[in-house]
């Protein structure tokens, strides 16, 4: 096994010891050759590659350790049995279990549908079945009984407040400063009313009417009705004009541009009347029905009296002095 070796010849006294020593040396030499990392490898692997070999072995061992440490807990979790979970059972309650009672369909006596009296109750073991009773005819039915929702109206059913319609005020006190007589030229076809002073209520209605002439307010020779988007005048440049608004607005319209102008239709304006009616209102309105619902103390009639100028031609002699 270890090869043949030549045995030296020693004296007989130490021949056995020398033989054992030789065998031991040969055995150790053979073992050293077998355990040597360079045995059976090429020369290019044994020279200068020992560090690479050790590094590759270290990384291989580290990779195996990582795989084992990762896979082992997973396998252990899969093999372990899941913990037993207890499903909650029905809790015990101290409330008594109701005894079996006969349903309404099982009773032999029919319950009248139009009666308000409650049906008799009781167990079938301790009370006999009641005999059928005739349905009362004069008892109120449940359909006719008003419910709480029908008796108490909901907020949505409450009527909405209606707007207050325009109407004359009960208190018609006001101040009106307007002349009753105006002198005009008998040949004049127009006449301007002087300034009018009005005060009192917040809202006022003024009704102007006349004969044989028309009323021209604000812009002369033009029909005016709407001011700042609000209609305040009705019937401008006619024989019947209505103004409505605040007292200041009515006064300003009547006194603008030298006052209201009266223009004759068929001839001069002298000898006719111009009637002014003033009504205190709760809000503006151009309804002509309210013109007659004011106080008589607030009505003014202006007489246009012509001056006493004759139209006849008077001839008289003239004396000339030398």
Q: Which domain holds residue 259?
A: 175-306
Q: Looking at the domain assignment, is residue 268 inside a domain?
A: yes
Q: Looking at the domain assignment, is residue 55 inside a domain?
A: no
Share of the chain above pLDDT 70, in %: 57
Which pLDDT does position 314 carry in this prediction? 72
Q: Looking at the domain assignment, is residue 13 inside a domain?
A: no
Question: pTM for this one?
Answer: 0.48
Please give the tally of structural domains in the chain. Answer: 1
CATH number of the domain that residue 298 is part of: 2.60.40
Average pLDDT over residues 145-154: 49
Average pLDDT over residues 45-61: 72
Q: Looking at the domain assignment, is residue 317 inside a domain?
A: no
Q: Looking at the domain assignment, is residue 186 inside a domain?
A: yes
**CA distances from residue 182 to 104, 194, 216, 252, 301 in whole angstroms, order as listed:** 101, 9, 17, 21, 11
Which pLDDT does position 286 carry in this prediction? 95
Average pLDDT over residues 6-20: 57
Contacts for 175 with CB less than 8 Å, ≥ 6 apart:
197, 198, 199, 200
User: Residue 162: which pLDDT band, with cuts at 50, 70 and 90?
Assistant: confident
Contacts for 172 with CB less than 8 Å, ≥ 6 apart:
279, 280, 294, 295, 297, 298
118 has a pLDDT exceeding 90: no
Which pLDDT does position 300 carry in this prediction? 94
Contacts for 273 with CB less than 8 Å, ≥ 6 apart:
210, 211, 301, 302, 303, 304
Average pLDDT over residues 205-210: 95
Which pLDDT does position 33 carry in this prediction? 67
Whole-number average pLDDT of the chain = 74
Q: Looking at the domain assignment, is residue 93 inside a domain?
A: no
Q: Looking at the domain assignment, is residue 261 inside a domain?
A: yes
136 has a pLDDT exceeding 60: no
Average pLDDT over residues 202-220: 94
User: Residue 65: which pLDDT band, with cuts at 50, 70 and 90?
Assistant: confident
Q: Which two tokens stand for residue 87?
A: 């499903």
Per the model's pLDDT, the better-predicted residue between 189 and 100 turns out to be 189
Q: Looking at the domain assignment, is residue 191 inside a domain?
A: yes
User: Residue 121: which pLDDT band, with cuts at 50, 70 and 90?
Assistant: very low
């Amino acid at each position: 096994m270890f090869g043949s070796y030549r045995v030296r010849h020693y004296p007989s006294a130490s021949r056995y010891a020398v033989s054992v020593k030789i065998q031991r040396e040969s055995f150790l030499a053979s073992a050293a050759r077998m355990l040597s990392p360079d045995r059976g490898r090429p020369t290019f692997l044994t020279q200068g590659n020992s560090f690479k070999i050790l590094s590759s072995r270290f990384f291989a061992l580290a990779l195996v350790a990582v795989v084992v440490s990762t896979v082992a807990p997973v396998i252990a979790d899969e093999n372990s049995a899941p913990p037993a979970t207890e499903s909650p059972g029905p809790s015990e309650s101290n409330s008594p279990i109701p005894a079996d009672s006969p349903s309404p369909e099982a009773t032999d006596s029919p319950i009248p549908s139009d009666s308000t009296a409650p049906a008799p109750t009781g167990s079938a073991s301790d009370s006999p079945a009641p005999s059928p009773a005739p349905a009362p005819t004069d008892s109120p039915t449940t359909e006719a009984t008003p419910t709480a929702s029908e008796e108490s109206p909901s907020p949505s059913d409450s009527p909405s407040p209606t707007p207050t319609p325009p109407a004359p005020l009960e208190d018609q006190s006001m101040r009106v400063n307007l002349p009753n007589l105006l002198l005009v030229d008998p040949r004049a076809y127009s006449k301007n009313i002087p300034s009018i002073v009005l005060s009192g209520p917040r809202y006022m209605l003024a009704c102007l009417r006349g004969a044989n002439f028309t009323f021209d307010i604000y812009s002369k020779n033009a029909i005016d009705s709407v001011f700042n988007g609000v209609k305040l005048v009705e019937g401008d440049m006619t024989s019947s004009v209505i103004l409505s608004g605040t007292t200041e607005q009515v006064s300003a319209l009547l006194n603008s541009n030298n006052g209201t102008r009266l223009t004759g239709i068929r001839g001069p304006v002298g000898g006719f009347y111009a009637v002014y009616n003033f009504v205190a209102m709760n809000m503006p309105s151009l309804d002509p029905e309210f013109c007659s619902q004011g106080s008589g103390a607030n009505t003014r009639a202006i007489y246009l009296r012509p001056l006493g100028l004759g139209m006849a031609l008077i001839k008289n002699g003239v004396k000339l002095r030398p």
